[in-house]
Structure 1
Amino acid sequence: MVSVTNTSSGASPAISARNLTLTLGSASAPVDILRGIDLDIAKGEVVALLGPSGSGKSSLMAVLSGLERASGGTLNVAGADFAGMDEDGLAQARRGRIGIVLQAFHLLPTMTAAENVATPMELAGAQDAQPRAEAELEAVGLGHRIGHYPTQLSGGEQQRVAIARAIAPRPELIFADEPTGNLDVTTGEEIVKLLFERRTASGATLLIITHDAALAEKCERVLTMADGVIVSDTKNVAA
């Protein structure tokens, strides 16, 4: 097991976890998914998370992003005590703090591109959700597709909408789980370039789950998981 600490001197980390655990299943047949994660991620850092299927990567992202409650340990995310919150509290804490980009896009089929981006901001009480959504869609190259529905968009265009939806609220953290997994190589490269560009513009911390070693090399830091723990932590000097 590797204890992972990488924050600037005096700066509070974007993510700080100690002895973080996740156990699923029944009391009589528990399954340990995360087995004591110690992790600090600095504000503004770009981190790749690698590991084989079943290593716990997606589960760790779910816990760090507040989609899943940890079973034990401490977890502070963007100044909020995620370990001490119930599911409703986590849902509230995610708003404005966290943007999520998933492999399967998860756009609402009955909403236009602009509505898919604006609706989460409207639910969070933003008064300027629509113009912000349109501006972010322009920024990801979809100004001409604002009124189109997901079924009218290519896979790459749908992922651009998903990126716009994640970044438009200007979250402190962005999580991306295999963001190019459903795309061809060329489109995937375009999406990665766009994701990095928009992250730079927003200044957010970025954590990417990927099987792609080439994508990991573009990140400042690479964490590798196996059997529910972090087994290595490497800095990419050239990133």
Structure 2
Amino acid sequence: MKKPLAIEARNLRLSFDGATGPVEILHGVDLAIEEGEIVALLGTSGSGKSSLMAVLSGLERATSGDIMVAGADFARLDEDALAMARRGRIGIVLQAFHLLPTMTALENVATPMELAGMADAQQRAETELQAVGLGHRLTHYPSQLSGGEQQRVALARAIAPRPTLLFADEPTGNLDGVTGEEIMDLLFARRAETGATLLIITHDPALAARCDRVVTMQDGLIAASDDGAGNPADGSVEGA
């Protein structure tokens, strides 16, 4: 029996205005991801994987197509409603840490939750920072933290609100190999505790192999979907 879908995209298209006319990035993507599934998104530079993640996470609006994310119809929402829909549903970890330099680790994690109206934001932030091994660095600023520690703060910020969906775009790209492995172990451990659906953009075959499914993009379309061992997925991606 199939689980409910966390993400369902049909005929998803994305284009931007170029110097000589519209440039289409996504050419009609069909993608379904079940609740709790861990999916690796692979593809060469320019294949459209980061653009697809941006649309699925609500950071970009699709030019056309249908997209349901965690029960919200992202294709029909205006900008304000889309921003509200992301709150509590979606956590994002990027290659660049995007921490506010004038805020401590605790403030970087707590402030987004405070802005979202969560009454226990400070306690949630402290608890999550302790969970990623930074209980002793709560009052430190980003400039006082190593790259690995900054990414731990970013990870805590993404997970502390307990989103149902986690997106990670090359989260170890700015880290050395050992530190990157530690961050991915943390990401998988925290996801396991929360049960969130996880979509990871990566170039690392070893990381992809840890996922339930590997989706490969090429030229703005889904080129393949398998279980990480090369076995085709059972219809989880349609129209590929």
Superposition TM-score tier, normalisation by shorter sequence:
over 0.9
**Correspondent of 1:70 among 37, 62, 66:** 62
Deviation at 1:213, TM superposition (A): 1.0
- TM-score, normalized by length of structure 1? 0.94
AA in 1 matched with 2:35 = K
What are the equivalent positions in structure 2 for 1:1-239 lying under 5 Å apart? 8-9=1-2, 11-26=3-18, 29-236=21-228
CA offsets 1:32-51 (integer angstroms, 9 cap, x no match): 10000111100000000000
Deviation at 1:27, TM superposition (A): 9.4
Show the counterpart of 2:235: none
Distance across 2 between alignment mates of 1:25 and 1:207 = 28
Tell me if the contact between 2:209 and 2:229 (Cα under 8 Å) persists in the aligned partners: no
Tell me if the contact between 1:18 and 1:37 (Cα under 8 Å) persists in the aligned partners: yes
SS at match of 2:136: helix
Distance across 1 between alignment mates of 2:49 and 2:83 = 21
Show the counterpart of 1:3: none
RMSD of aligned Cα (Å)? 1.3
| Percent identity (aligned) | 72
- TM-score, normalized by length of structure 2? 0.93
Distance across 2 between alignment mates of 1:200 and 1:109 = 30
Distance across 2 between alignment mates of 1:49 and 1:223 = 5
Tell me if the contact between 1:156 and 1:188 (Cα under 8 Å) persists in the aligned partners: yes
Deviation at 1:88, TM superposition (A): 1.7
CA offsets 1:69-124 (integer angstroms, 9 cap, x no match): 00000000000000111222211110000000000000000000000000110011
Deviation at 1:28, TM superposition (A): 5.7
Distance across 2 between alignment mates of 1:237 and 1:138 = 35
Tell me if the contact between 1:174 and 1:207 (Cα under 8 Å) persists in the aligned partners: yes
SS at match of 1:169: coil
Distance across 1 between alignment mates of 2:19 and 2:33 = 32
Deviation at 1:236, TM superposition (A): 3.2
CA offsets 1:181-229 (integer angstroms, 9 cap, x no match): 0000000000010000000011000000011111111111000001000
SS at match of 1:191: helix
Distance across 2 between alignment mates of 1:164 and 1:118 = 10
Deviation at 1:165, TM superposition (A): 0.2
Tell me if the contact between 1:69 and 1:86 (Cα under 8 Å) persists in the aligned partners: no
Deviation at 1:12, TM superposition (A): 2.4
